[in-house]
Amino acid sequence: MRHPRNSYRGWLAVALVMYATTGSAADAPAALPGFDALVEAEMTAKQVPGLALAVVKDGAVIYSQAYGFRDLERRLPVTPRTLFRIGSVTKSMTAAAAGILVSQGRLDLDQPVREYLPEFRLHDLFASERLTTRDMLSHRSGLPRHDMVWFHENLPREEYVRRLRFLEPSADLRSRFQYNNLIYTASGYLIGRIAGTTWEQFVAQQLFAPLGMTSTDVSMQRFLAATDHAVGYGDDDAGKVVPIPDTSVDAIAPAGAVTSSLEDMTRYLQMYLNGGKSVDGKQILPRKVLDEMQSPATLVPVPSRFPEIGAMHYGLGLFVSTYRGHRHVYHTGAYEGFNASLAWLPDEHIGVVILTNHNLLLNLMQVITKRAFDNLLGEEVIDWRAKFGPGEPGARSRTAAGKAAAPARSAAPVVKPARPLAEYVGRYEHPAYGIVEVRASGKQSLELWFHGDRFPLLPVRVDLFETGEIADRIHPLEKVKVNFLATEQGEIGSLAMRMEANVAPAILTRLPAAGTR
């Protein structure tokens, strides 16, 4: 479904829906002047189909609204019960679950993981022996992201944990913050093993049920079957809004697969603002667990661009910083068509939750959150839209990323390959990343297939190629060199390609053709 930008404002005006919450309709505008107008302006500027947000102060929901469409094609509006994918906000739930196990005396965050999972291995022997749950939950394992192991793949969770041993580290244990979804997957696997169940069952029993989060789930199949779920969207190369195909991340669920609604995520936010208690006063997270999660454990080496924002750290499943001198705790989530943000000022008991069904919108979520903070702190309002500028960091659309829309282009001058194309065709395997397949595309070109994604393979020189672009999307493996390596007999026996930017290219070994040995 596509629509021109100039029609979007009309659609948004029709779909805007306000829902009464704890605060009255008169209270919210007084506390948050111009808030509606800001949200609508941001949505229009970034072409966001739908958005749901709530603001909490002193335990009460003072503002809760749903805007726009959960489904553009069918013109279905967002409601407080619309399900969105919350991405890496899930990590706070995994850390909370680990904290609950600690409070039950079943887990020690500072004991080596191998005491609980004897089969656990990393590439580095020292890290294998000494890595703790605290190290995993604070992203200081020594491993960079290595997301191509799981991206658009869906293997059993224990298989991802097993494959960690084949992944090269880029830092020593505890020496550096390096965000890693696979390590969080392993954390969830560990939680399930200790609990004698699965991570999904444990978080449902220990978090979702006691908080009354009845719509929250960890299943892509159930998400898509739900009547009131959002469709994810992004911008194509021409800057128009298009749906993004749904892909499951169930296998790495502890890192980012939870789906939830505004109603449920508001209850989740209130727990943090209420000292770990649910809205009915039940202690869900012990105070000690809450303090550990919100305490800096690892410095995130990203300098702040603005004096109002302090140094960034990671606690356990949460980022920790300051905003205008106030402690600021938060996490964002993003995955193919969805964005979420959970943020609060713990000492002022102020929090904001935002759910959207459009691709990477980190600036939009910050603009809205910081406006609420400014208003409720009684500070002079800062124009964060002007400070951040019109673009979005890491936007998937080439237009949204600030590039001129253009047809897919060759990554390198057209050259003649060093050998007949048929000699490159085959299947190549890495013990962690899996299978890369090189196929003929007609008589004059090649394609590279990986986890279901297909790239043009463009010759550069000798046995060196480069992946081309995928129309209307930006993929991490676009514009990556693929170097075919010959055996002593002169035949192509392997290929090297950079699957992870922070380590050496991965070597994938050619598999025998069917029917050969």
Sign of the CA dihedral running 240, 246, 251, 255 = positive
Which pLDDT band holds residue 445 (cuts at 50, 70, 90)?
A: very high
pTM: 0.91
pLDDT at 147: 97
* Residue 419 near residue 486 (C-beta atoms within 8 A): no
Cβ atoms < 10 Å from Cβ of 126: 11
Which pLDDT band holds residue 80 (cuts at 50, 70, 90)?
A: very high
* Helix residue ranges, H only, 81-174: 90-103, 125-130, 133-137, 157-163
Percent of the chain whose pLDDT exceeds 90? 82
The model's pLDDT over 470-480, given as tens digits with 9 standing for 90+, comes to: 876 778 999 99
In whole angstroms, give the CA distance from residue 470 to residue 414.
Answer: 18
Question: Residue 170 gets which letter from DSSP?
Answer: S
**Residue owning tokens 């991490």:** 476
Percent of the chain whose pLDDT exceeds 70? 90
In whole angstroms, give the CA distance from residue 111 to residue 125.
Answer: 16
Flag the least confident range among 11-15, 280-284, 352-356, 412-416: 11-15
Which pLDDT band holds residue 394 (cuts at 50, 70, 90)?
A: low
Which pLDDT band holds residue 15 (cuts at 50, 70, 90)?
A: very low
431 has pLDDT over 90: yes
Average pLDDT, the chain: 90
pLDDT at 22: 35
421-510: which CATH topology?
Answer: Lipocalin (2.40.128)
The domain 5-89+198-388 having CATH identifier 3.40.710.10: the answer here is: yes
DSSP helix/strand/coil, 204: helix
In whole angstroms, give the CA distance from residue 391 to residue 12.
Answer: 21
Mean pLDDT of 349-360: 95
The model's pLDDT over 256-290, given as tens digits with 9 standing for 90+, comes to: 999 999 999 999 999 999 999 999 999 999 999 99
Mean pLDDT of 355-377: 95
* Residue 275 near residue 100 (C-beta atoms within 8 A): no
**Residue owning tokens 């726009």:** 68
Sign of the CA dihedral running 412, 418, 419, 420 = positive
In whole angstroms, give the CA distance from residue 164 to residue 114.
Answer: 13
- Domain residue ranges of the chain, discontinuous segments joined by +: 5-89+198-388, 96-195, 421-510
**Residue owning tokens 């109002």:** 308
